[in-house]
A and B are shown apart, each in its own frame.
Chain A
Amino acid sequence: MISLELESFAYDDGAVLADIAFSLGAGERALVVGASGSGKSTLARVLAGQLDAGQGHRFVGTLSVAGEQLVFAGSGSDPRIDPAAWAQHVGYVGQRAHAHLSMVCASVAEEIAFGLANRGVPAERMHVLVDLAAARLGLTDLLERDPRRISGGELQRVAIAAAVVGNPAVLVLDEPFKGLDVAGRRDLESLLAALGESGTAILLFEPMLPRDAGPATRVLVLSGGSMVPVDQDVPGSDDLGRYGVGVEGVAANSAPLAHAVGEDRIPAIRIRDLSFGYGAEPVLSVADLAVSSGEAVAVLGPNGSGKSTLLQHLNGLLRPEAGRVQLYGEDLRGRPVGSLASTVGHLFQDTDQQLFEHTVLREVAYGPRAAGRSRKEAERCALQALAAVGLADAVHHHPHDLSFRDRRLVALASLMATGPRLWVLDEPTVGLDLRGREVLSGLLRRHIRDGGILMMATHDEVFAQAVCSRMFRLGAAAAAG
Chain B
Amino acid sequence: MRFRRRILNPLTELTIAGLLVVLVLVVDDWRFSLAVLLLLVLPAAATSGRAVHIAVAFGVLAGPMLMFLLLLHGLFYPEGERVLLDLGPAAVTAEGLLFALEMGTRVAAFTGLLLTAALSLEVSELLETLTHRGWNRKLVYVLGSALGLAPLVADRAAQITRAQQARGLVVTRSPLSKLRALVMVGRPLIAGLLTDAADRSRTLDARGFAGTGPRTSYRADTDTAAQRAVRWGLLAVVVVFTSWWYVGRHT
List chain A positions with a Cβ less than 8 A from chain B. Answer: 48-50, 83-84, 86-87, 92, 94, 96, 98-107, 109-110, 113-123, 126-127, 130, 148, 162, 315, 317, 336-339, 341-342, 344, 346, 348, 350, 352-356, 358, 366-367, 370-371, 400, 414-415, 418
Residues of chain A within 8 A of B222, CB atoms compared? none
Pick the interface stretch among B13-21, B59-67, B108-116, B154-162. B154-162
Flag B132-153 by CB within 8 Å of A: 1 or 0 each.
0000010011001100110010
Flag B168-211 by CB within 8 Å of A: 1 or 0 each.
11110000000000001101100110011001101111111111
Closest CB-CB distance, A110 to chain B, in whole Å?
5
Q: Say whether, besides A87-B206, A353-B160, A120 and B166 are in contact (CB < 8 Å).
A: no
Q: Say whether, besides A354-B163, A356-B187, A84 and B199 are in contact (CB < 8 Å).
A: no
Task: Show 29 residue pairs from A and B whose CB-CB distance is below 8 angstroms, ordered by the A residue.
Answer: A48-B206, A83-B210, A84-B208, A84-B211, A86-B206, A87-B207, A87-B208, A94-B199, A98-B196, A99-B199, A99-B203, A102-B200, A103-B144, A109-B218, A118-B137, A120-B216, A123-B217, A123-B220, A336-B165, A337-B165, A341-B167, A346-B166, A348-B166, A354-B163, A356-B184, A356-B185, A356-B188, A367-B168, A400-B191
Residues of chain B within 8 A of A103, CB atoms compared? 144-145, 148-149, 200
List chain B positions with a Cβ less than 8 A from chain A. Answer: 123-124, 127, 131, 137, 140-141, 144-145, 148-149, 152, 156, 159-160, 162-171, 184-185, 187-188, 191-192, 195-196, 199-200, 202-211, 213-220
Across the A-B interface, how many residue pairs have beta carbons closer than 8 Å? 157
Residues of chain B within 8 A of A337, CB atoms compared? 162, 165-166
Closest CB-CB distance, B114 to chain A, in whole Å?
22
Q: Are the CB atoms of B200 and A123 closer together than 8 Å?
A: no
The answer for the CA separation of A418 and B168 in the assembled complex, in Å, is 9
A356 nearest CB neighbor, chain B only: B188
B166 nearest CB neighbor, chain A only: A346
Residues of chain A within 8 A of B159, CB atoms compared? 350, 353
Q: Are the CB atoms of B167 and A366 closer together than 8 Å?
A: yes
Most A Cβ at <10 Å: residue of B145, B169, B202, B203 = B203
Residues of chain B within 8 A of A101, CB atoms compared? 200, 203
B125 nearest CB neighbor, chain A only: A106
| B167 touches which of A87, A127, A418 (Cβ 8 Å) | A418
Q: Are the CB atoms of B192 and A115 closer together than 8 Å?
A: no
Q: Are the CB atoms of B148 and A104 closer together than 8 Å?
A: yes
Q: Say whether, besides A100-B203, A117-B216, A366 and B168 are in contact (CB < 8 Å).
A: yes
Residues of chain B within 8 A of A354, CB atoms compared? 163
The answer for the CA separation of A352 and B248 in the assembled complex, in Å, is 65
Chain B at the A interface: SS class: helix
Q: Are the CB atoms of A122 and B163 closer together than 8 Å?
A: no
Q: Are the CB atoms of B206 and A83 closer together than 8 Å?
A: yes
Closest CB-CB distance, B141 to chain A, in whole Å?
6
Shortest Cβ-Cβ A-B pairs, 4 listed: A370-B168, A115-B207, A341-B168, A104-B144
Q: Are the CB atoms of B166 and A162 closer together than 8 Å?
A: no
Q: Are the CB atoms of A123 and B216 closer together than 8 Å?
A: yes
The answer for the CA separation of A199 and B57 in the assembled complex, in Å, is 55
Residues of chain B within 8 A of A344, CB atoms compared? 166
B144 nearest CB neighbor, chain A only: A104
Q: Say whether, besides A92-B206, A118-B137, A356-B184, A104 and B168 are in contact (CB < 8 Å).
A: no
The answer for the CA separation of A114 and B128 in the assembled complex, in Å, is 12
The answer for the CA separation of A113 and B218 in the assembled complex, in Å, is 7
Closest CB-CB distance, A79 to chain B, in whole Å?
16
Closest CB-CB distance, A342 to chain B, in whole Å?
7
Q: Are the CB atoms of B188 and A338 closer together than 8 Å?
A: no
Q: Are the CB atoms of A110 and B216 closer together than 8 Å?
A: no
The answer for the CA separation of A400 and B188 in the assembled complex, in Å, is 10
Residues of chain A within 8 A of B163, CB atoms compared? 348, 353-354, 356
Residues of chain B within 8 A of A120, CB atoms compared? 211, 213-216
The answer for the CA separation of A225 and B208 in the assembled complex, in Å, is 31
Closest CB-CB distance, B181 to chain A, in whole Å?
11
Q: Say whether, besides A83-B202, A102-B203, A315 and B216 are in contact (CB < 8 Å).
A: no
The answer for the CA separation of A148 and B147 in the assembled complex, in Å, is 12
| B160 touches which of A148, A315, A356 (Cβ 8 Å) | A356
The answer for the CA separation of A17 and B184 in the assembled complex, in Å, is 36
Q: Are the CB atoms of B220 and A162 closer together than 8 Å?
A: no
Closest CB-CB distance, A396 to chain B, in whole Å?
17
The answer for the CA separation of A346 and B211 in the assembled complex, in Å, is 46
Residues of chain B within 8 A of A350, CB atoms compared? 159
Q: Are the CB atoms of B184 and A110 closer together than 8 Å?
A: no
Q: Are the CB atoms of A400 and B207 closer together than 8 Å?
A: no
The answer for the CA separation of A127 and B217 in the assembled complex, in Å, is 11
The answer for the CA separation of A100 and B203 in the assembled complex, in Å, is 6
The answer for the CA separation of A84 and B113 in the assembled complex, in Å, is 42
Q: Are the CB atoms of A130 and B218 closer together than 8 Å?
A: yes
B170 nearest CB neighbor, chain A only: A338
Residues of chain B within 8 A of A371, CB atoms compared? 168
Closest CB-CB distance, B215 to chain A, in whole Å?
6
Closest CB-CB distance, B221 to chain A, in whole Å?
9
Q: Are the CB atoms of B206 and A104 closer together than 8 Å?
A: no
Q: Are the CB atoms of A342 and B127 closer together than 8 Å?
A: no
Closest CB-CB distance, B226 to chain A, in whole Å?
21
Closest CB-CB distance, A357 to chain B, in whole Å?
8
Q: Say whether, besides A117-B217, A355-B188, A106 and B167 are in contact (CB < 8 Å).
A: no
Q: Are the CB atoms of A122 and B216 closer together than 8 Å?
A: yes
